């Protein structure tokens, strides 16, 4: 337990050094109930009365002696903020304050109130921290301490949601195991409540409170994190439900980052798994400091004019912006699973066709990278070819080699037609980006337990009839990646991804004997089938900017257009998807409606049209019309 806690905590200690940065003061902060929490206080060398950044941690505050966050490492030189780092009750130096049911929000408020009264404080406090250190910031903010001015939670949201622990009805085995190892003891809550019941409804209703956040939040997340959907959902709630006075102050930063906790993949680092994102390094720190400067020091750094959403488009490896998430301009494309294991926009031509494989729960398909937490597992993008796709218990479906870039933004959804010779089983999806050199780099994963195919309450769940055809819908968490020209889109289908997800014994019996997150009772080998024909068609739905469709392949495609990139500098292209070959008219108008440029020509299905590079910077509207009906419009910002 102690060894695991130390390993996990080192993510926030950054690096071992022979020397250490020691706090200016070690103090104990009185709480609302008279008990005290241990605190390290690092004072700003710039100002004797400075704003303060509060960090509340269950991972041993003394580990920050090895290096401070926000790019400081071992030096406070020139830093205009105080930093106060506090051990949670029942953790580290605050064990003496332990009570059976700590109120972390009230404790946070007590810390903020105390800081505001100190001689070295200017009375303004912001909060910062990842994971559990982020979750506690929301609880503190709900208490509305007067001195709290802003917050920066990383890879965190406050909600306790059934699908966080049982995505697709399947327990996240390694996740719960690691949370228990870290001392949170959540198995006692999660394991007895294996279906969505009144306990989950209560937790979901009482921990999802965007309307109660009264201070600006900069939420920072990662595309390889396990909190993606709760983060995105809570941010959208902040933008629509928090008080009107603060709605436009919230910001979201989504980078190409894993959750962190072990290894080299951390929020804000360049190395993530087996890939490198050099132009993402340090962004979380830079934006957090700009956010603090604006809200705590009143510096007019134009932060108030920054986009609401900044996100990293992997593949292109570029930062992009949007007013909302998901961004506008997306079209859902269905790629059908073909009998020859390809992916194609055309439905299979044959009325018969299926592919079967065996799944043995005693020899499960292994977890290689992804949104993991346990320190013995890799995090982030890893090649699935050597250890996953080389096995005989996985089906591998590939798109053709792409002739142009394909930009994906949002939730991928698998719609499978399946059967099994057993009364229960699972289906797992791994989405990968296949490089020209053969690497199959993991993008995202998803899972569905067949007894939960109709929902997650006890009334929803039922076993399946062996060898009968069923629908299996699997949602993958949001992602953001461009599959580059020369690459392929790949979908791996298996019935396990262990230990990220619990193994199904296939027997239809008790799922979690002894309420253990990792146990099997009467495991049996199942033969599972995925159908690939026109009667029982399986397909994957991708939210894309466009897809390189061929004549005759268009099926249910709506006209769509987007400017890439947007905003853009000297050059930009209009990406156009048409439902059929058409005579297309394109007009470019400024904000006053004045016609600036127009183009008219025939196009087949997919086209990239260069926009004029010599017009003045400003905001323009692109109008495209043709026989497809209503004129399509997109806004373009020329920088």
CATH of the domain at 511: 2.60.120.260
601 plus 497 within the same structural domain: no
Residue-wise pLDDT for 58-95, tens only, equals 999 999 999 999 999 999 999 999 999 999 999 999 99
Question: What are the distances in angstroms from CA 624 to CA 186, 221, 606, 614, 636?
Answer: 54, 35, 13, 20, 13
Give 492-536 as a DSSP string.
Answer: EEES--BTTSPPP-SSSS-SSGGG-SS--SS---EEEEEE-SSSS
What does the pLDDT average to over 438-461?
97
Dihedrals phi, psi of 19, to nearest 5 degrees: -105, 175
Show which of 485, 519, 544 is a domain's final residue. 544
In the predicted model, is pLDDT for residue 278 greater than 90? yes
Residue-wise pLDDT for 8-53, tens only, equals 444 444 434 557 899 999 999 999 999 999 999 999 999 999 999 9
Q: Is the pTM of this model over 0.75?
A: yes
Show which of 519, 544, 569 is a domain's final residue. 544
14 plus 158 within the same structural domain: yes
Q: Is-contact 70 128, C-beta < 8 A?
A: yes
What does the pLDDT average to over 150-154?
98
What does the pLDDT average to over 328-351?
93
Q: Which residues of 588-612 are buried (b: 16+ CB within 10 A; e: fewer)?
A: bbeeeeeeeeeeeeebebbbebebe
Q: Is-contact 195 461, C-beta < 8 A?
A: yes
238 plus 298 within the same structural domain: yes
In the predicted model, is pLDDT for residue 305 greater than 50? yes
More confident residue, 470 or 590: 470
CATH of the domain at 582: 2.60.40.1930
For residue 416, what pLDDT is reported? 98
Q: Please identify which residue in the block is written with the tokens 């048409």.
A: 578
402 plus 275 within the same structural domain: no
Range with the poorest average pLDDT among 121-125, 432-436, 441-445, 564-568: 564-568
Residue 342: band (very low, low, confident or very high) from pLDDT cuts 50, 70, 90: very high
623 belongs to a structural domain: yes
Q: Is-contact 511 519, C-beta < 8 A?
A: no
User: To 5 degrees, how large is the angle CA 472–CA 475–CA 480?
Assistant: 145
Closest C-alpha among 542, 477, 443 to residue 229: 477
For residue 6, what pLDDT is reported? 40
In the predicted model, is pLDDT for residue 4 greater than 50? no
401 plus 485 within the same structural domain: yes
Kind and range of the H or E run holding 544: strand 539-544
Residue 627: band (very low, low, confident or very high) from pLDDT cuts 50, 70, 90: low
For residue 3, what pLDDT is reported? 36
Range of the domain at 265: 2-322
Residue 616: band (very low, low, confident or very high) from pLDDT cuts 50, 70, 90: confident
Closest C-alpha among 437, 421, 409 to residue 326: 409
Dihedrals phi, psi of 89, to nearest 5 degrees: -55, 145
What does the pLDDT average to over 314-324?
96
230 plus 376 within the same structural domain: no
Show which of 322, 357, 386 is a domain's final residue. 322
For residue 1, what pLDDT is reported? 35
In the predicted model, is pLDDT for residue 574 greater than 80? no
Residue 287: band (very low, low, confident or very high) from pLDDT cuts 50, 70, 90: very high
Q: Is-contact 506 361, C-beta < 8 A?
A: yes
406 is written with which tokens? 């394909």
Closest C-alpha among 108, 111, 110 to residue 134: 108
396 plus 373 within the same structural domain: yes
219 plus 353 within the same structural domain: no
159 belongs to a structural domain: yes
**Count of the separate structural domains present in the chain:** 3
More confident residue, 609 or 438: 438
> Beta partners for 433?
441, 489
555 belongs to a structural domain: no
For residue 622, what pLDDT is reported? 79
462 is written with which tokens? 């039922």
In the predicted model, is pLDDT for residue 554 greater than 50? no
What does the pLDDT average to over 460-470?
98
552 belongs to a structural domain: no
424 plus 571 within the same structural domain: no
For residue 264, what pLDDT is reported? 80
Coil vs helix vs strand at 25? strand
Residue-wise pLDDT for 265-274, tens only, equals 899 999 999 9
Residue 590: band (very low, low, confident or very high) from pLDDT cuts 50, 70, 90: confident
185 plus 126 within the same structural domain: yes
Residue 618: band (very low, low, confident or very high) from pLDDT cuts 50, 70, 90: confident
Closest C-alpha among 157, 10, 145, 148 to residue 69: 10
Coil vs helix vs strand at 388? helix
In the predicted model, is pLDDT for residue 354 greater than 70? yes
For residue 527, what pLDDT is reported? 98
Coil vs helix vs strand at 228? helix
Give 107-175 as a DSSP string.
Answer: HHHHHHHHHHTSTTEEEEEEEEEETHHHHHHHHHHHT--TTEEEEEEES--S---HHHHSGGG---HHH
442 belongs to a structural domain: yes
Coil vs helix vs strand at 368? coil
Mean of the per-residue pLDDT values for the chain?
Answer: 91
């Amino acid at each position: 337990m102690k060894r695991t806690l130390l390993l996990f905590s080192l993510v926030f200690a950054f690096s071992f050094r022979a020397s250490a940065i020691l706090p200016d003061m070690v103090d104990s902060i009185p709480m609302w109930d008279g008990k005290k929490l241990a605190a390290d206080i690092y004072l700003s060398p710039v100002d004797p009365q400075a704003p303060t950044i509060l960090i509340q941690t269950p991972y041993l505050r003394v580990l920050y002696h090895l290096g401070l966050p926000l790019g400081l490492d071992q030096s406070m030189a020139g830093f205009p903020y105080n930093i106060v780092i506090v051990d949670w009750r029942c953790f580290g130096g605050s064990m003496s304050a332990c009570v059976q049911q700590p109120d972390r929000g009230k404790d946070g408020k007590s810390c903020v109130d105390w800081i505001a009264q100190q001689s070295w404080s200017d009375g303004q406090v912001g909060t910062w921290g990842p994971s559990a250190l982020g979750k506690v910031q929301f609880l503190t903010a709900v208490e509305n301490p007067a001195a709290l001015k802003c917050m920066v939670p990383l890879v965190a949201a406050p909600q306790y949601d059934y699908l966080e622990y049982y995505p697709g009805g399947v327990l996240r085995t390694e996740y719960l195991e690691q949370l228990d190892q870290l001392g949170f003891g959540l198995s006692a809550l999660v394991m007895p409540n294996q279906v969505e019941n009144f306990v989950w409804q209560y937790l979901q209703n009482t921990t999802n409170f965007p309307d109660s956040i009264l201070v600006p939040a900069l939420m920072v997340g990662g595309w390889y994190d396990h909190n993606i959907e709760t983060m995105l959902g809570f941010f959208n709630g902040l933008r629509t439900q928090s008080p009107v006075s603060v709605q436009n102050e919230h910001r979201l930063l989504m980078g190409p980052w894993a959750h962190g906790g072990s290894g080299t993949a951390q929020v804000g680092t360049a190395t993530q798994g087996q890939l490198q994102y050099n132009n993402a390094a340090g962004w979380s720190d830079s934006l957090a400091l700009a956010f603090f400067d604006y809200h705590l020091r009143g510096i007019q750094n134009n932060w108030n004019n920054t986009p609401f959403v900044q996100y990293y488009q992997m593949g292109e490896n570029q930062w992009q912006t949007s007013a909302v998430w998901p961004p506008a301009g997306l079209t859902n494309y269905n790629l059908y699973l073909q009998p020859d294991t390809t992916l194609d926009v055309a439905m299979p031509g044959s009325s018969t066709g299926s592919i079967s494989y065996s799944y043995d729960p005693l020899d499960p398909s292994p977890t290689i990278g992804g949104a993991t937490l346990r320190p013995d597992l890799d995090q982030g993008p890893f090649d699935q070819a050597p250890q996953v796709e080389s096995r005989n218990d996985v089906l591998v479906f590939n798109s053709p080699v792409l002739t142009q870039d394909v930009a994906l933004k949002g939730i991928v959804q698998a719609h499978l037609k399946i059967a099994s010779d057993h009364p229960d089983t699972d289906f797992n999806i791994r989405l990968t980006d296949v490089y020209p050199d053969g690497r199959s780099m993991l993008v995202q994963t998803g899972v569905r337990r067949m007894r939960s195919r109709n929902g997650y309450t006890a009334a929803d769940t039922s076993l399946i009839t062996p060898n009968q055809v069923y629908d299996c819908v699997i949602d993958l968490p949001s992602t953001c990646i461009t599959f580059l020209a020369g690459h392929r889109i790949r979908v791996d289908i298996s019935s396990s991804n262990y230990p990220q997800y619990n193994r199904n014994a296939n027997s239809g019996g008790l799922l979690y004997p002894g309420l253990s997150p990792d146990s099997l009772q009467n495991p049996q080998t199942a033969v599972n089938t995925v159908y690939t024909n026109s009667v029982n068609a399986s397909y994957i739905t991708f939210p894309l900017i466009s897809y390189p469709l061929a004549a005759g392949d268009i099926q249910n495609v709506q006209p769509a257009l987007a400017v890439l990139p947007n905003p853009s500098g000297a050059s930009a292209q209009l990406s156009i998807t048409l439902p059929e070959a058409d005579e297309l008219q394109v007009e470019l108008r400024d904000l006053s409606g004045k016609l600036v440029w127009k183009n008219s020509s025939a196009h087949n299905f997919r086209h990239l049209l260069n926009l004029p590079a010599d017009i003045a910077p400003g905001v323009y509207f692109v109008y495209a019309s043709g026989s497809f009906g209503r004129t399509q419009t997109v806004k373009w910002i020329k920088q």
